[in-house]
Structure 1
């Protein structure tokens, strides 16, 4: 039997790219029924998880949010996906649920409490996407903070995750929760302890009050392809989200796995998921028509606003017929989408805008019939060594075409429909235990944290 693809589905609690099309339903992002219907559809289809991206950012140009972003719905507006997760958990039983919490905004104890509560509520189906945050310039303005240096954000993230792992793995022993009504002992004091952490950015002497869920630590995802991002992924991530052209993806995946091996982990066990846009229809011609309609909904001004969100750079003020100024790489908002457009074969600013108009940050789509898009996607996996895809919404803002057309083709080829056994997201995604692998740095904190 062929190795099954890992399949996650990408959403944010806000408008999605083709919202201007009449059939697009992402304008319902504050309608709970919209998310309930989607989650039930995805569970029935047998995908691995539904992922919600999240951030506090928005495009900033000339020291403020541009009218283009507000008018065009560019990375704006959006809600809080953590408020959606319990509702969709209640109407599903196997679908994994993953969300982003930023290490720049959420303190470690806050992340540990939220994720542990969700792990219990979902029966062990929760995952945390570790990011330092998107739209950093806007987020810093919103919270009244100075913009933190890009590389320092990853130093903070490392310390943040280290403390979070101590709280999840070190505070409660297995079997410490007794619930003994007759004896009057809810938890064994010998099995519950405060942890001590003195890191470069965070301190803690305290206990996580939430008893451990089935996974203890949520499945750890990471999205960030800069050098510091890859290093963080190699140290902690169990799955990584990536978006780039094939050659860049191949190099990034190889580097993450090499660094993981150097950290004493099994790099091949990290699931690498590529952002995949599937424009699919019963005929190639119809798929191409859908693709053209999607592209036509976004102007070059929209593309410039979106680029400003990811990088803090205003391309509309640069010479459209010259490449991006290399000094632009000094931006502290985001590096990946600057670095990808530098070098000896760098595109012009106009070409960058056209790329963002057509593809945003997700790379070129797979376009065609079900058989054609699966062939295209399979070639990318073979070339890059990736394990599957983080599927982007279709022109409806949902995954209707993927579920109705692509999933049957994947099942026909033995590439879907036989997920790993297990009750938790970690078991089904990794094929291993519900808990962190022994080689993961977080596993060292379990039952070994000294009493304070």
Structure 2
């Protein structure tokens, strides 16, 4: 029997999707009650985790924010998800919580301390989405630094993760935290140590001052389909988020699993999750009408601003009847959403804009009644060898239609597991232990005195 699908829900602390629709609640993104209600609903429905994208970027064209981006709420504005996560942890017991921290902006000791603290606060339900960043041109301007070349950002990311793993896995042995008031011993000096790291981009000597939480290392996620992104995923990730059409997804997933095996890892230990947009209603006609309303909220100018955010390229100035110039693939802002539109059957610039108007960076949505969308989702899982979905918000800015209509059908068909007892996020995603697998490169940094089971 196939393993149950893993279901995550995708959000950011900002405007998303069809915010212009009157029933949409995305404009409440700075209202804590909005997120508390959403987290409770997600847990009640039995989804595995709530995933927050994050970055410091926004669309930039000609060294300025396009007016279209400001008027249309395109990748702007947004807040900080790490400020919200502890509150969500306090009102849930089983729901995993995943957040994004950039290896270009955040230094490894900062990430290690934040994630170790959140591992405690969530009782082992935290995950880190490892990204080099998004909207790199805007982010570099904001921090007053030169923009780092695309492939070099992934070299930095690998060194960043390596150091972070040393801090999580190498500083504290099991039993290092004693807390013996009578003896006056808080930590055993023989079981706590400073690590040293001398990598190509980071140097460190010191100790992670936060004792290990239930997972010790957060569950490691990755999102990025370029060749360097896939290799980073194959080396370190335990779950990967992918957005493309079926043929590309099939190739990307097979490639990641091949690369994982080459790195000495079990290819099946990486959960490959597809971006899933479900436009679902009681009838097919109602779903089609809803889809039309969603698409109508975005203009081609909105699509151009969105594309500029992800790639740094301004399609509005290109010949709409010609494909992208292949040299566009050399952009340093982001390549995934350039490379997908290159090749022998490349679409025209106008067709790219129309695709972004409909779907942005996501693949073709599942539109229809419940039986139809679940049938289609099952077909895609079978064809791509994926492990589940990272579901996008619906027309309300929440996941109500997915939770009310799709999740019960998935449970009824045995495609997802029913609600379980509280456990760590790593175990919820199918790992046998709360800790990194023995063949994961991070496990090599455990002291010989550290026995993790």
Q: Normalising TM by the smaller chain, what interval?
A: over 0.9
| Structure 1 equivalent of residue 325 of structure 2 | 325
Which secondary structure state, in structure 1, belongs to the residue aligned with residue 253 of structure 2?
A: helix
Say if 2:82 and 2:99, in contact at 8 Å, map to a contact too: yes
Distance in structure 2 (CA, Å) of the matches to 1:341 and 1:49: 31
Say if 1:419 and 1:428, in contact at 8 Å, map to a contact too: no
More moved, 414-423 vs 288-297: 414-423
Say if 1:2 and 1:414, in contact at 8 Å, map to a contact too: no
Gap runs ≥5 in structure 1: none
Distance in structure 1 (CA, Å) of the matches to 2:44 and 2:218: 23
Distance in structure 1 (CA, Å) of the matches to 2:355 and 2:248: 16
Give the C-alpha shift of residue 417 in structure 1.
Answer: 3.3
Say if 1:421 and 1:427, in contact at 8 Å, map to a contact too: no
Say if 1:117 and 1:210, in contact at 8 Å, map to a contact too: yes
| Structure 2 equivalent of residue 142 of structure 1 | 142
Distance in structure 2 (CA, Å) of the matches to 1:355 and 1:346: 13
| Structure 1 equivalent of residue 407 of structure 2 | 407
| Structure 2 equivalent of residue 297 of structure 1 | 297
Calculate the TM-score normalised by the size of structure 1: 0.98
The aligned runs of 1:386-401 (5 Å cut-off) are: 386-401=386-401
Which secondary structure state, in structure 1, belongs to the residue aligned with residue 165 of structure 2?
A: helix
The aligned runs of 1:10-409 (5 Å cut-off) are: 10-409=10-409
Deviations for 1:353-377, whole angstroms, at most 9, x for unmatched residues?
0000000001100000111000001
| Structure 2 equivalent of residue 6 of structure 1 | 6
Say if 1:4 and 1:419, in contact at 8 Å, map to a contact too: no
Say if 1:421 and 1:428, in contact at 8 Å, map to a contact too: no
Give the C-alpha shift of residue 430 in structure 1.
Answer: 2.2
Which secondary structure state, in structure 1, belongs to the residue aligned with residue 11 of structure 2?
A: strand
Give the C-alpha shift of residue 3 in structure 1.
Answer: 2.9
Distance in structure 1 (CA, Å) of the matches to 2:19 and 2:359: 15
Which secondary structure state, in structure 2, belongs to the residue aligned with residue 10 of structure 1?
A: strand
CA RMSD in angstroms, aligned pairs only: 1.2
Which secondary structure state, in structure 1, belongs to the residue aligned with residue 429 of structure 2?
A: helix
Deviations for 1:322-375, whole angstroms, at most 9, x for unmatched residues?
001111111000011000000110000000000000000011000001110000
Q: Which runs of 4+ in 1 moved over 3 A?
A: 417-422
Identify if the C-alpha distance between structure 1 residues 331 and 147 changes in structure 2 by more than 3 Å, giving closer, same or farther. same
Give the C-alpha shift of residue 4 in structure 1.
Answer: 1.4
Distance in structure 2 (CA, Å) of the matches to 1:80 and 1:152: 26
Give the C-alpha shift of residue 211 in structure 1.
Answer: 0.3
Which secondary structure state, in structure 2, belongs to the residue aligned with residue 430 of structure 1?
A: coil
Which secondary structure state, in structure 2, belongs to the residue aligned with residue 205 of structure 1?
A: strand
Distance in structure 2 (CA, Å) of the matches to 1:201 and 1:141: 21
Distance in structure 2 (CA, Å) of the matches to 1:426 and 1:13: 24
Calculate the TM-score normalised by the size of structure 2: 0.98
Give the C-alpha shift of residue 411 in structure 1.
Answer: 1.0
Distance in structure 2 (CA, Å) of the matches to 1:5 and 1:419: 13
Give the C-alpha shift of residue 431 in structure 1.
Answer: 3.3
Give the C-alpha shift of residue 23 in structure 1.
Answer: 0.2
Which secondary structure state, in structure 2, belongs to the residue aligned with residue 358 of structure 1?
A: helix
Residue-pair matches, total: 450
Identify if the C-alpha distance between structure 1 residues 357 and 17 changes in structure 2 by more than 3 Å, giving closer, same or farther. same
Give the C-alpha shift of residue 419 in structure 1.
Answer: 6.1
Gap runs ≥5 in structure 2: none
Distance in structure 2 (CA, Å) of the matches to 1:235 and 1:86: 29
